[in-house]
């Protein structure tokens, strides 16, 4: 027991010592760290790696060296804090679970804003945790495979019309079915159903829109709308058309150029209003991309930022660019 405590202490002192020697920010015994925010092109978070023991306060003094930034911790309810140039904002954090946490910038400070991320390592004895891999891994889905719908509706399907059809859809409304099927696959399944033979193609698309609607909620969609505006619209566009202000400005940052971008064209953000592309993607596929990122395409990795629930809400929101009255 004592040995463990000592070990934790040593790690803390080493990290603190490193900061003291390198930057002169280590202040005495207490865990006070001055965290400088800079645009990623000139350094991002300095330092971008912090260590604290579980249940110990971590006192942060946040300041910006250039423009306004914001500070938030991924997967937590901690509200974002603005960081302004020339001002020191104090913030005390305490983590009750050991592990690695990500902090990130919440203000669009430039084209590489989303690269402003750092990690906090929380040391301590961890409780055995069962980590469930994301759904796309569980079902063996290749999220990088190109996809293009063969069948698309002649106009935007309406969840309301779908509900009014009063079909027996319960087999399609389970979250297992919904998450692992693209809207196109669901439509093909309905079209194959002989008891529905009398209905038009568009009516069956309305039924698909209704299945998608019943797998989300008003609350989830309104939270996702906010998350989308804050984190996605700058690339994917407010209307989802892939035409955000930073859509064609993704550039490698210093030192990363070769690794992240070699062999890759700069890919434009996905157009969520394109039915051929989106109706052929299952929720598991979209969630997978969201969690893992594009790996070199310019699509950031969001798995460390959002809770699982938030990722499913965002996925539901992305389909709302295809269906009427989903929210
Ligand atoms: C910095 C620009 C950028 C931001 C910010 C961004 N994306 Fe993307 N996203 C891209 C690019 C570029 C692609 C296309 C390349 C790819 O699929 O990897 C993409 C692709 C995707 C895809 C894959 C679609 C498919 O069919 O495979 C999803 C889903 C997605 N983004 C969701 C989001 C969501 C949700 C957010 C906000 C939380 C977001 N993106 C923020 C650039 C961005
Ligand atoms: Cu920033």
pLDDT on residue 12: 31
Looking at all shown ligands, the one closest to residue 251's CA atom is 1
| pLDDT above 70 as % of the chain | 85
Pairwise pLDDT comparison (249 vs 166), residue with the higher score: 166
**Of the segments 2-11, 76-85, 122-131, which one has the largest average pLDDT value?**
76-85
pLDDT for 221 beyond 70: yes
Lowest mean pLDDT, pick from 26-30, 101-105, 221-225: 26-30
> What is the β-pairing status of strands 69-73 and 81-83?
antiparallel
Pairwise pLDDT comparison (16 vs 179), residue with the higher score: 179
For residue 236, the CA-to-ligand 1 centroid distance in Å is: 7
For residue 180, the CA-to-ligand 2 centroid distance in Å is: 36
Two tokens at 163?
């509900």
Two tokens at 95?
């983590």
Q: What is the rounded CA–CA span in Å between residue 101 and residue 90? A: 19
pLDDT category of residue 111 using cuts at 50, 70 and 90: confident
pLDDT for 6 beyond 50: no
User: Would you say the CB of residue 235 lies under 6 angstroms from ligand 1?
Assistant: yes
Q: What is the pTM of this model?
A: 0.86
Query: Distance from CA of residue 70 to its chain's centroid?
Result: 17
Mean per-residue pLDDT for 214-242?
95
pLDDT on residue 257: 46
Helices (H), the chain: 2-23, 135-138, 159-164, 170-173, 175-180, 183-192, 201-214, 218-231, 233-236, 257-261, 275-278, 283-292, 308-319
Average of per-residue pLDDT values in the chain: 86
Which domains can be identified in the chain, with CATH numbers?
2-123 (2.60.40.420), 132-327 (1.10.760.10)
Mean per-residue pLDDT for 274-281?
97
Ligand 1 pocket: which of 270, 279, 281, 308 to mutate (most atoms within 8 A of CB): 270
pLDDT on residue 321: 96
For residue 204, the CA-to-ligand 1 centroid distance in Å is: 29
User: Would you say the CB of residue 18 lies under 6 angstroms from ligand 1?
Assistant: no
Among 52, 54, 73, CA closest to 62: 73
- Work out which ligand 1 atom sits closest to the CA atom of 232: 37
For residue 37, what is the enclosing H or E element? Answer: strand 32-37
Q: What is the rounded CA–CA span in Å between residue 52 and residue 94? A: 9
Contact present, 311 and 227 (Cβ < 8 Å): no
Q: Write out the residues surrounding ion ligand 2, Cβ under 5 A.
A: 69, 105, 109, 116
pLDDT in tens, 38-58: 999 999 999 999 999 999 999
Peptide bond before residue 2 is cis, with ω within 30 degrees of 0 = no
pLDDT category of residue 251 using cuts at 50, 70 and 90: low
pLDDT category of residue 278 using cuts at 50, 70 and 90: very high
Which residue's C-alpha comes closest to atom 36 of ligand 1?
A: 232
Q: Length of the chain, please?
A: 327
Ligand 1 pocket: which of 112, 134, 279, 299 to mutate (most atoms within 8 A of CB): 299
Q: What is the rounded CA–CA span in Å between residue 4 and residue 93? A: 22
What is the layout of strands, in order, in the sheet containing 69-73? Answer: 49-53, 117-123, 99-104, 69-73, 81-83
The structure tokens 């059809």 sit at: 165
pLDDT category of residue 266 using cuts at 50, 70 and 90: low
pLDDT in tens, 55-93: 999 999 999 999 999 999 999 988 899 999 999 999 999
pLDDT category of residue 326 using cuts at 50, 70 and 90: low
Two tokens at 277?
């592309």
User: Would you say the CB of residue 69 lies under 6 angstroms from ligand 1?
Assistant: no
Which residue's C-alpha comes closest to atom 7 of ligand 1?
A: 299
């Amino acid at each position: 027991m004592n040995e463990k405590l000592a070990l934790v202490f040593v790690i803390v002192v080493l990290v603190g010592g490193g900061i003291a020697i390198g930057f002169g920010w280590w202040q005495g015994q207490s865990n006070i760290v001055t965290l400088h925010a800079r645009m990623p092109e000139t350094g991002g978070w300095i330092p971008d790696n912090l260590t604290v023991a579980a249940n110990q306060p971590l006192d942060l003094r946040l300041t910006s060296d250039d423009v306004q930034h914001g500070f938030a911790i991924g997967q937590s309810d901690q509200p974002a804090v603005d960081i302004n140039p020339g001002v020191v904002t104090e913030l005390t954090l305490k983590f009750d679970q050991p592990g690695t946490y990500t902090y990130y910038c919440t203000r669009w400070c430039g084209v590489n804003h989303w690269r402003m991320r750092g990690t906090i390592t929380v040391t301590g004895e961890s409780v055995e945790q069962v980590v469930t891999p994301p759904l796309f891994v569980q079902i063996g889905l290749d999220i990088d495979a190109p996809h293009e719908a063969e069948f698309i509706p002649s106009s935007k399907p309406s969840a309301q019309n779908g509900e009014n059809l009063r079909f027996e859809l319960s087999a399609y409304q389970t979250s297992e079915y919904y998450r692992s099927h693209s809207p196109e696959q669901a439509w093909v399944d309905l079209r194959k159903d002989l008891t529905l033979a009398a209905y038009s193609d568009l009516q069956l698309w309305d039924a698909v829109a209704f299945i998608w609607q019943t797998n989300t909620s008003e609350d989830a969609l309104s939270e996702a709308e906010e998350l989308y505006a804050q984190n996605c619209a700058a690339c994917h566009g407010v209307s989802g058309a892939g035409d955000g202000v930073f859509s064609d400005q993704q550039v490698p940052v210093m030192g990363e150029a070769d690794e992240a971008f070699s062999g890759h064209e700069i890919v434009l953000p996905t157009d969520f209003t394109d039915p051929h592309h989106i109706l052929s993607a299952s929720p598991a596929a979209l969630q997978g991309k969201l969690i893992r990122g594009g790996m070199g395409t310019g699509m950031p990795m969001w798995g460390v930022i959002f809770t699982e629930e938030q990722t499913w809400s965002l996925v539901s929101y992305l389909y709302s660019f295809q269906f009427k009255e989903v929210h």
